[in-house]
A and B are shown apart, each in its own frame.
Chain A
Amino acid sequence: MRHWIEKQRYIIDFTISSLLRRKVKNFGLLALYTLIVFILASTMFFTYSIKKEASLILKDAPEIVVQKIVAGRHDLLPVSYLDTIKNIRGVAAVESRLWGYYYDSLVGANYTLLVPPANGNSADNAQSPAKTTVVEGEPGIDKSKPLFELNGAVLEPGTLIIGNGIARLRDIGKGDYMPFLTFDGNVVNFRIAGTLSSQSELVSADLMLITGEDFRKLFGIDNSYVTDLTVVVNNPSEIATVASKIKKRLPQARPIIRDEILRTYDSIFNWRGGMMIVIFSAAVLAFVIFAWDKASGLSAGERREIGILKAVGWETSDVIQMKFWEGAMISLTAFFTGVILAYVHVFFTGSLVFEPALKGWSSLYPNFELTPFVNLEQLTTLFFLTVVPYTVATIVPIWRAATIDPDSAMRFTGD
């Protein structure tokens, strides 16, 4: 056993010196390898941490959201539904929600207008059963901190509180006025009472808070209608039952369970992440072919070296071991460098390289910093997508190199 360990040490020493002796060739390979790991790792880190953010935010979404569907489309919901649902056993609370979209043709952006729930200001939200505004769960985050902080602003009739994305896009801030076109063609001016905190940009960049009255005036919605309802069900195993009861009593209602939203988002993110991996697989394939070529193309000098090794007493399996260590060292270096660079790229520079692709056509793009989230699953997947193909591609070339005849060293007679 000791011999085996000592032997590995010798071989590793030799491998390191051998790698350093051919810096140019190995550096090119290493750079490309690191790049591949970097791209894949960035993609994965980004997808996974957004997924995690989304699931954290959604975790405290209401258990059930009820919408009215007419001819397959989302319609305004009559307030009478509230009572019907309140009477269902298991329902702890029902709240109505008023929200909608407003298209601003000046900048080509869609704003989300939301009427904050009754006790919509900062500190009280912990008591509110309506869970649209509280973030919980992550250790270190203040339990009573609302989803979007109003920064001390107070929403009065005739005012708006806007998200940072809108503030940036329209270049407006507290005290400015913003004109809106109502449903019947009139112009209404709203004063900006404040902006939402930048911490919550991921969800609030395009958000505007407005009072209920103003909302109804703007969009022409009667008092007897709301956009949708949120239902609080305390016992998690009751949720499905309550949802089906809602459906039975209100045939036009569509109850959406929070877990379904989570699953759907999960699927979407998975799908997106997977698509990117598939697309990048072309790059990985190219890299693998390159690696195979590099491993097969032994220069005359390398051939001589292996010939000498075999002539002085190294066996084929010893040479294979040496080549294996070579591959392992290059792989490990590329893997760690790529992962670290990707980590910095995604979590410190906000995915600088991907930004144009991610932004797409959106005019309102949030400036957000993702919470670093890297787990073993991601690293293992990366390992399987990069190191394994590389290693497998080099098996045959390594074997070919290792089976060079020992007496080739003897036959080399001159310069």
Chain B
Amino acid sequence: MILHPTVIANLLAVYISSGMVLYAVYYGAQILKYWDIQSGHELQLVLERKTYLISTLLAYVFGLQLLSLFLFIFTADSLTPLFVGAMCAAGTLNVDAFGYPTLVLKIFSFILAGLWLVLNYADNQGYDYPLIKKKYLLLAFVAPFIILETILESAYFLNMEADVITSCCGSLFSSERVTGIGSEIASMPALPMMWIFYGAMICTLASGIFFYLKNTGGYLYAALSLLMFIISLVSIVSFISLYIYELPTHHCPFCIIMEEYDYLGYLLYILLFGAVVSGIGVAALSPFRQVESLQFMLSGFIRKLALASVILYAAFAAIVTYEIVTSSLVIAYEVVY
């Protein structure tokens, strides 16, 4: 185990997140069991007060998840000198089997937490907490993922061993491990991916605007925005990163959040995350449009979510296009990369 201060910070963050989520689930279970909005009984009043606590806790968890997602990448990047063959975070994540699964789960948990907050906001607008039971069921669903993420991340860091000098033979293992750690990320060929990216983006934006104007096709948009999210991530690896690094072989999606590239990655990823959470939020809330206490606001809110998502995706596409156009790299697409 590498006792690096940043590693400690990471582990602390996920343990705290898990702790808060477990705490929230415990109270959530009470609410699921005893909630009765009509009753003026003291227990009900206590439960209502508890919902404030849970909302606050989960808002913090959401913030913490986002920060720790970036910290995780940062840490992976700063640990690269310790491993033979690792060039950047992409390499460090390959050091043991838990690196990439942790990353995937972190992103997934973050999106789920975001969804919960969207649901929570809508629920609070109704004068009888109409979505409360569904909200806490969702929480019970989200919690295991965050716990799992904690376990995976712990396993990842605890299993790490730096390639240091051993007492007898300094270079023995590094020469035997001639190939080193795979720092190459599997990537899709650039040109087809570009077409797919822009094609999907146009479809998604169109669907979103259509929904905003006509108020139908919400589920379609949510599905498209999820798809767009995945396509965008693949695209970053496949061709967007090439233009940002101005290097036809550098596919790493993590280096763009580093100082050398003006922290551009933060902006891109935050736009993407925001877009996908609000996009999926549309589908999460649409089933409840008929609920009486939410009548006056829900449709409007859902449409605003869709609009926000569209704007974020559009901004993402705009920045990507700008980077491609102003990049010094020119990819001759006759050669397949």
Q: Tell yes or no: A273 within 8 A of B by CB.
A: yes
Chosen A-B contacts, 21 in total, with CB atoms closer than 8 Å, are: A240-B171, A247-B169, A254-B169, A255-B171, A256-B165, A261-B165, A263-B165, A264-B164, A266-B82, A270-B4, A270-B82, A278-B8, A377-B78, A380-B74, A381-B9, A384-B13, A389-B12, A395-B57, A399-B52, A399-B53, A402-B52
Residues B12 and A274 in contact, CB atoms below 8 Å apart? no
Cβ-based interface call for B335 (8 A): no
B60→A395 contact, CB < 8 A: yes
A270 touches B174 (CB 8 A): no
The verdict on B167 contacting chain A, using a C-beta distance below 8 Å, is yes
- Report chain B residues within 8 Å CB of A388: 12-13, 16, 64
| Minimum distance in angstroms from B66 CB to a CB of chain A | 13
A244 at the interface (CB under 8 A from B): yes
Q: Tell me which residues across on chain A come within 8 A of B172, comparing CB atoms.
A: 247
Known A376-B259, A385-B9, A388-B12; judge A270-B170 contact (CB<8 A).
no
Chain B interface residues toward A at CB < 8 A: 2-10, 12-13, 16, 20, 49, 52-53, 56-57, 60, 64, 67-68, 71, 74-75, 78, 81-84, 162-165, 167-172, 174-175, 178, 259
Residues of A within 8 A of B164 (CB): 260, 263-264, 267
Q: Which of A255, A262, A377 makes the CB contact (< 8 A) with B81?
A: A262
Instruction: Across the interface, name the chain B residue whose C-beta is closest to A275.
Output: B3
A residues within 8 A CB of B9?
Answer: 380-381, 384-385
B3 touches A377 (CB 8 A): no
Task: A256-B170, A260-B171, A380-B74 given; name 20 further pairs at CB < 8 Å.
Answer: A72-B167, A240-B178, A257-B170, A259-B174, A260-B163, A260-B170, A264-B165, A266-B162, A267-B82, A267-B162, A270-B2, A273-B4, A274-B2, A274-B7, A277-B8, A320-B56, A375-B259, A381-B5, A389-B12, A395-B20
Specify the chain A residue showing the minimal Cβ separation from B77: A377
Provide the bound-state CA to CA distance between A273 and B10, in Å: 15
Taking CB atoms, residues of chain A closer than 8 Å to B60 are 391-392, 395
CA distance A316 to B5 in the complex (A): 38
- Give A265-322 interface residues, CB cut-off 8 Å to B: 266-267, 270-271, 273-275, 277-278, 281, 316-317, 320
Total A-B Cβ pairs within 8 A: 140
Whether B2 and A241, one on each chain, are in contact in the complex, defined by CB atoms closer than 8 angstroms, is no
The answer to whether A247 and B171 touch across the interface, beta carbons within 8 angstroms, is yes
Size category of the A interface is: 35 or more
* Set of chain A residues within 8 Å of B162, measured between Cβ atoms: 263-264, 266-267
Question: Are B52 and A320 interface neighbours, CB within 8 A?
Answer: yes
When the two chains form the complex, which single residue of B67, B84, B171 contacts A244, counting CB atoms closer than 8 Å?
B171
Q: State the A residues within 8 Å of B (CB).
A: 44, 47, 55, 69, 72, 240-241, 243-244, 247, 254-257, 259-264, 266-267, 270-271, 273-275, 277-278, 281, 316-317, 320, 375-377, 380-381, 384-385, 388-389, 391-392, 395-396, 398-399, 402-403
Q: Which of B5, B74, B174 contacts A257 (CB 8 A)?
A: B174
Least CB separation from B55: chain A residue:
A317
Q: What is the chain A residue whose CB lies nearest that of B174?
A: A240
Contact of B71 among A266, A384, A398 (CB under 8 A): A384
User: CB-CB < 8 A to A261: which residues of B?
Assistant: 165
What's the minimum C-beta distance from A140 to chain B, rounded to whole angstroms? 19
Q: How far is the CA of A392 from the CA of B67 in the complex (A)?
A: 14
CA distance A388 to B9 in the complex (A): 10
Q: Is the CB of B16 within 8 A of A278?
A: no
Contact A395 B56 (CB under 8 A): yes
From A260, A277, A278, A377, give the contact of B165 (CB < 8 A): A260
Contact A377 B56 (CB under 8 A): no
Q: Determine if A399 and B82 form an interchain contact, defined as CB atoms under 8 angstroms apart.
A: no
Find out whether the CB atom of B71 lies under 8 angstroms from the CB atom of A380: yes
Task: Quote the shortest CB–CB distance from A81 to chain B (angstroms).
Answer: 16
Q: Are B171 and A257 in contact (CB under 8 A)?
A: yes
Q: Given the complex of chains A and B, what is the CA–CA distance between A259 and B173 in angstroms?
A: 13
Q: Which residue of A lies closest to B64 (CB)?
A: A388
CA distance A275 to B165 in the complex (A): 20
Report B-chain residues with C-beta under 8 Å of the C-beta of A402: 52
Q: Is the CB of A392 within 8 A of B3?
A: no
Cα A254 to Cα B166 in complex, Å, equals 11
Contacts A316-B52, A377-B74, A385-B12; A273 near B170 (Cβ below 8 A): no
Query: How far is A274 from B78 in the complex, measured between Cα atoms in Å?
Result: 14
| Contact status B175-A263, CB under 8 Å | no
Cβ of A212 to closest chain B Cβ, rounded Å? 26
Cβ contact within 8 Å between B49 and A243: no
Using A377-B74, A384-B71, A395-B60 as known contacts, say yes or no to A256 and B171 having CB atoms under 8 A apart: yes
Min CB gap B77→A, angstroms? 8
In whole angstroms, what is the CA distance A277 to B13 when docked?
15
Q: Which B residue's beta carbon lies closest to that of A386? A: B9
Q: Which residue of B lies closest to A65 (CB)?
A: B170
Q: In whole angstroms, what is the CA distance A247 to B5 when docked?
A: 36
Contact B170 A254, beta carbon cutoff 8 Å:
yes
Residue of B nearest to A40 (CB): B5
Are A266 and B81 closer than 8 Å at their CB atoms?
yes
Alpha-carbon gap, A263 to B5, bound state (A):
16
Across the interface, do B163 and A263 meet the contact criterion of CB distance under 8 Å? yes
Return the chain A residue nearest B8 by Cβ: A277
A266 to B178 alpha-carbon distance, docked (Å): 22
Chain B residues whose C-beta falls within 8 Å of the C-beta of A391 in the assembled complex: 60
Residues on A with C-beta less than 8 A from B53 are 395-396, 399
Q: Which of B20, B81, B175 contacts A241 (CB 8 A)?
A: B175
Residue of A nearest to B3 (CB): A274
Known: A247-B169, A380-B71. A270 touches B3 (CB 8 A): yes
Contacts of B165 in A (CB 8 A): 256, 260-261, 263-264
Cα(A263)–Cα(B95), bound, Å: 15
- Whether A381 and B6, one on each chain, are in contact in the complex, defined by CB atoms closer than 8 angstroms, is yes
Residues of B with C-beta under 8 A to A243: 170-171, 174-175
- Residues of B contacting A240 in the complex (Cβ-Cβ under 8 angstroms): 171, 174-175, 178
CA–CA, A263 to B161, complex, Å?
11
A385 cross-chain contacts in B, Cβ below 8 A: 5, 8-9, 12
